[in-house]
Structure 1
């Protein structure tokens, strides 16, 4: 165990990242995250780490709790946060929230949409039978795929 006086933001973030990466250590990640909040170390990237953990584990209620906390504390969203939320809403076929978030992302001049976000949302639309909406997003997605990305995708298939 590392003594508290030697633990700074970097040490805590390193621990949080490792715990969150190994989903079986969810409790350790939550404990570390709570300690980071107590010490004033919990920044947006830490929230993103926890959002990713909960998303990968399918714990969407915990995502909602964190989103509320992020909003209450005035912690700004970044593209990673928005992408995690979009994928979370898509995974649960929460079409209303997903559409609202897509509109928010597209309207924000600081957010650069990428093809993966549109693709994720399109898949959610397909799962619930909204083919036209899926096609619209897939067309947008296609416009954002660069030649380099196309080559990478072709080599992975």
Structure 2
């Protein structure tokens, strides 16, 4: 990451998302959390970071973390909350084995799916 900063590549969400995904997949939660904090401090626009963060919380069975990510998703006007966002949330809760939260997400999905 430092090399990317030195070269000026650490200004876009893409570079952060790639490293966040790496840290998530390798279970390096300390570096993951530091990078998330850095993104917030530098006002790096969140793109698919919520999905990566949700996956990391699900892998750690961190229900409070998933709740926080979903709340941030819903409160961010730049993130269009389509049915797929709630399916992703349900997936996170499934990985964390919380059936009640999965059902709550799927109820939101049902309300957003348009009928043919």
Asked whether 1:84 is paired with 2:52, we answer yes
CA deviation string 1:70-116 (max 9, x = no partner)? 112221212x1111111111111111121121011012222123244
Looking at structure 2, the residues matched to 145 and 58 of structure 1 have their Cα atoms a distance apart, in angstroms, of 34
Which residue of structure 2 lines up, in the alignment, with residue 59 of structure 1?
28
Which residue of structure 2 lines up, in the alignment, with residue 27 of structure 1?
none
Q: Could you tell me which runs of 5 or more consecutive residues in structure 2 were left unpaired when the two chains were aligned.
A: none
1:144 Cα deviation after fit: 5.5
Q: Which of the pair has the greater relative contact order for Cα pairs under 8 Å at 6+ separation?
A: 2
What TM-score comes out, normalization by structure 2 length? 0.79
What TM-score comes out, normalization by structure 1 length? 0.61
Q: After the TM superposition, which segments of 4 or more aligned residues of structure 1 sit over 4 Å from their partners? A: 142-147
Which residue of structure 1 lines up, in the alignment, with residue 90 of structure 2?
119
User: Which structure has more helix as a fraction of its residues?
Assistant: 1
Asked whether 1:73 is paired with 2:42, we answer yes
How many residue pairs were aligned?
111
Which residue of structure 2 lines up, in the alignment, with residue 137 of structure 1?
105
CA deviation string 1:26-57 (max 9, x = no partner)? xxxxxxx3222012221210000001111111
Looking at structure 2, the residues matched to 93 and 146 of structure 1 have their Cα atoms a distance apart, in angstroms, of 32
1:141 Cα deviation after fit: 3.7
Q: Could you tell me which runs of 5 or more consecutive residues in structure 1 were left unpaired when the two chains were aligned.
A: 1-32, 148-157
- Give the CA RMSD over aligned residues: 2.2
Asked whether 1:96 is paired with 2:71, we answer no
